[in-house]
Amino acid sequence: METKTYQKFLMIMLIIFIITGCSTKQGASTKEETTGTASNEGGTLVIARLSDAENLDHHFMSTINAASVTHSKIYEGLVGRDKNAEIKPLLAKEWKQLDDVTWEFKLRNDVKFHDGTAFNAEAVKTNFNRLLDPNVASPRAVVFKMVKEVKVVDEFTVQFILSEPFSPLLSILASHEGGIISPKTIEKFGKNIINEPNGTGPFVFESWTPGQEIVFNKNNDYWGTKVKVDKVVYKVVPEETTRISMLESGEAHIAEPLSVPMMTTVEASSAAEIYRSEGFGTEYIGFNFQQEPFNDIRVRKAISHAVEMDSIIKGVYNNVGKKANSLLGSKVFGYHPDMSAYKYNLNEAKKLLAEAGYPDGFETTLKTMDSKERINMAEVLQSQLKGIGIKVNIKVLEYGTFIEAVNSGNSEMFILSWRNATGDADYNQYNLFHTNSHGAAGNTFFYSNKEVDQLIDAGRKEKDSNKRIELYAQAQELEMADAVYIPVRVIENLAAVAKNVNGFSISPSGYLEINDVSIK
């Protein structure tokens, strides 16, 4: 009897142990799930954007709008920038400049492309060979034109041999043009634009439906710190009120860009808040030198004197983004703080127009993209220039169509911005003003000045930072003297962000930074 009772006791204890064990396991699982929720892992991040990317190939991207989708997400470069915009190691773990024209990079040996191909020195060489191949005709080749050869030293060592000294090389490599594409993808697409991006980054391409959405998934095999969200969807939503409504309803987490007029709506929202930060770039009014009468400096100066910029900054932008004095933002290396734009002077404007043979003014077309501020600014310009007899017809175009028009020279006057992907004056000066950069490379003014070209070229070669600053100051003064453009304001990055989103930012260059984003 005692033995049977003892056996029963053992059986009961065994059952209790099993049950307790199971309960403990379930409790651990629940704790893990709770921990996952607390750390905000997973979920789908939806970004509602004004316009689509024109393509997903870094060798063909002419806008930060497109590069912002893939840069540091799909594609990575040898170097990148940290949160203070300082150069940091990325696919290259270290580097050194061996002489004036030779830079050596030691590469990581633990990186694979999304298709499983190993990242190595040959992959780097393949990328720059494609970028610089005249038959490929990349519009971004101009930024690396000083690269004579990319030499493979060993499997994980590569050298950039330059045709001439180029001080801002690292800043260019850190921008989207320096993004490394899988050699297999390059082989597949060849000279054609790559619309199925394949890189080494923390996101993997899933799909692109042009005009509608781009979808990326988390790269679970990423070599670095993995992203927190499982998926990101960039939705093309041209109407801003719809973008904001999507935040209110929970259909989207980020809406960008945010216009100044819409800021009050977001400020009153219980679901969203405003993100804002100063950028490297500026907005400006440009003239096409190839079109009459803008090939006459007197006409360009007359218009520059006829624009009352303070009323535009206050009335159109509600003082968001400070008034610019050049096309370099104040945070950019090489910014010229002592430069002055043309002062508002209607009498001088009328005098210059009469000297140019237009005493009664003329009729012209001003092109702009379809954003509220740009349209509002165009209307103010239309009103202001009427005061000197110039009739301005405003033509509002969808963003991609607008960019294509100004890149091809199909413009007279236009409102545009330059984000400056590197934070170095060279990226601004060479792309926007050098004779070699006419068209899609950035010089949509089709401006050419040999002295400016020489100063820009000298700035690229000069090692001394102070001397570089002096060279860029001289170039900026000459550009202003030629009345190439009218500076408007330093860009302030604006976006509407759902209150349950953490970790979002926009870099000074204008790239959307989502790798640290989590959703509550």
Instruction: Report the chain's mean pLDDT, rounded to a whole number.
Output: 91
* 446 and 502 belong to one structural domain: no
* 289 and 389 belong to one structural domain: yes
* 435 and 287 belong to one structural domain: yes
Considering the domain boundaries, does residue 108 fall inside one? yes
Question: Which residues lie below 8 Å from residue 86, measured CB to CB, with a gap of 6+?
Answer: none
Q: How many percent of the chain have pLDDT more than 90?
A: 84
How many structural domains is the chain composed of? 3
End-to-end CA distance of the chain: 61
User: Which residue among 189, 211, 246 closes a domain?
Assistant: 189
Report the pLDDT averaged over residues 14-22: 38
Q: Closest Cα partner for 86 from 331, 321, 428, 327?
A: 331
The per-residue pLDDT for 40 is: 65
The per-residue pLDDT for 305 is: 98
Strands, E assignment, 348-500: 363-369, 391-397, 413-418, 485-498
Considering the domain boundaries, does residue 32 fall inside one? no
The answer to which of 19-28, 171-180, 235-244 has the lowest mean pLDDT is 19-28
User: Which residue among 189, 219, 253 closes a domain?
Assistant: 189
Considering the domain boundaries, does residue 209 fall inside one? yes
Question: What span, in angstroms and rounded, lies between the C-alpha atoms of 509 and 168?
Answer: 15
Considering the domain boundaries, does residue 1 fall inside one? no
Query: What tokens does 105 get?
Result: 């990079």
Q: The domain that contains 123 carries what CATH number?
A: 3.90.76.10
* 130 and 228 belong to one structural domain: no
* 312 and 250 belong to one structural domain: no
Query: In which residue are the tokens 């990148």 written?
Result: 80
* 323 and 384 belong to one structural domain: yes
Task: Say yes or no to pLDDT of 27 above 70.
Answer: no
Considering the domain boundaries, does residue 390 fall inside one? yes
Task: State phi, psi for 232 to the nearest 5 degrees.
Answer: -130, 135
Considering the domain boundaries, does residue 505 fall inside one? yes
* 234 and 361 belong to one structural domain: no
* 404 and 437 belong to one structural domain: yes
Q: The domain that contains 342 carries what CATH number?
A: 3.10.105.10
Considering the domain boundaries, does residue 7 fall inside one? no
* 503 and 483 belong to one structural domain: no
Three-state DSSP class for residue 334: coil
Binned at pLDDT 50, 70 and 90, residue 462 comes out as: very high
The per-residue pLDDT for 498 is: 97
Task: Say yes or no to pLDDT of 283 above 90.
Answer: yes
Helix, strand, coil percentages (3-state) for the chain, rounded to 5, are: 35, 25, 40
User: Which residue among 126, 158, 189 closes a domain?
Assistant: 189
State if pTM tops 0.85: no
Higher pLDDT, 352 or 23: 352
499: domain range?
203-277+493-519
Considering the domain boundaries, does residue 22 fall inside one? no
Binned at pLDDT 50, 70 and 90, residue 39 comes out as: low
* 314 and 365 belong to one structural domain: yes
The answer to whether 353 touches 296, Cβ cutoff 8 Å, is: no
Check residue 515 and give left, alpha or beta (phi > 0: left; psi -120 to 50: alpha).
alpha
Helices (H) and strands (E) in the chain, counts: 15, 20
Cβ atoms within 10 Å of 165's Cβ, excluding its own: 15
* 213 and 313 belong to one structural domain: no
Q: What is the pLDDT of residues 109-128, one digit of tens each?
A: 999 999 999 999 999 999 99
* 143 and 67 belong to one structural domain: yes
